[in-house]
Amino acid sequence: MTQEKVARHIIKVVGHYIDASLIERVVANFRKLLIDIDWIYGRRVDDSGIYELYLMVREHPNLYMALLNLSKTVGVEKVFEFNGEITEKSLVEDNKTFTIYIPRPRKVREYSWGVVNG
């Protein structure tokens, strides 16, 4: 039995965080097309309510459609797809391991209201 190496993509979503529904809409957008999310985390960019959400998803036939749909979602400003190598860096602190994924993109696509740039 052989195992295939599955391509992974890091997706960056920039949007207005009013309540937790932003996160729910982003996750539901992928789940309704049967795309699994390996991990998700976010951070506040500024005090006006702009947040960045980062997700890692595996290659899937519906990924392009999910990204187009996500770019048209209310509250989402832009969606970025990073294609390329992903470096994993592990930090150990107080007997807890934190894994940080660093994209080294060969290609970056930007999606905004259904329009693809890049």
- Its CATH architecture, for the domain 8-117, is 2-Layer Sandwich (3.30)
- CA 84 from centroid of its chain's CA atoms: 14
Q: Is 49 strand, coil or helix? A: coil
Phi, psi of 67 (to 5 degrees): -70, -40
pTM: 0.79
Q: Is 118 strand, coil or helix? A: coil
Query: What's the pLDDT at 35?
Result: 94
Residues of the chain with pLDDT under 50: 1
Q: Is 66 strand, coil or helix? A: helix
pLDDT tens-place string over residues 50-76: 999 999 898 899 999 999 999 998 899
